Amino acid sequence: MRMVHFGLFWRKVNDRFPHTEERPALTPMIERFPDAITSGGRVRFEAMEVPQLPRLWLLNEAGTEMIQIQNDRFIKNWRKQSETDPYPHYEPVIKRAFERDFRDFQLFLAEEELGAVKVNQCEVTYVNHIVSGEGWQNFAEVDRLFTFCNRTSGDAPGSLEDFSAHLRFPITDRESRPVGRLHVNVQPALRANDNRPMYVMNLTARDNTAEASNSSTLAGSGL
């Protein structure tokens, strides 16, 4: 695909997604097995004959529903824009909307003779905002939010200020072979409309099995 194809696809769906934004392309995040943990960072060099294409956002009028496309990724999102926006739930609303939009994208590729999509990984992400005042008051009270946490004490240099974590869990098949991972990422933040403390917890499951590659049930994103 080239940038002109992004525009042609938008013309197909701009009745539902009238607004567009350009963002930097996302770095490929493919789960590998085994995946050795290294102490140093990785430097990646890539020679390109043409400039890298951006990631295109296609948004509905309210900004709550979105498609993201780039050369190696198709993403469907729902996102909360105001406190009164009800979460529509993955089943059946978000999943069904993904299947509709991904089918439209596949039909467009066929019409433009760009070839069929070859899926190498499926991903689902849930974004959870855990806002203070609902059972906890400040960032130090992580033990009231997450059962795997104990408040720092003893020889610590002072009281706990806040907490962040990135946990990884293997996803296995029936023969206990790893086929994907569940990533749990926790970060402190302030809610934009009132600066209330909150923890943002992202749950991301990636599966690269052949069964997942032939299914649309694992792709999508919600907040």
**What are the residue ranges spanned by the domains of the chain?**
3-31+54-111, 122-207
pLDDT tens for each residue of 4-53: 999 999 999 999 999 999 999 999 888 988 876 655 455 555 555 656 78
Q: Report the distance separating Cα 104 and Cα 67, nearest Å.
A: 12
In this predicted model, what pLDDT tens digit does every residue of 179-191 receive, in sequence order?
999 999 999 999 9
As a whole number of angstroms, the distance between CA 33 and CA 215 comes to 22
Q: Is the dihedral of CA 9, 13, 17, 19 positive or negative?
A: positive
Nearest Cα to 119, choosing from 52, 219, 12?
219
- The pTM score is 0.80
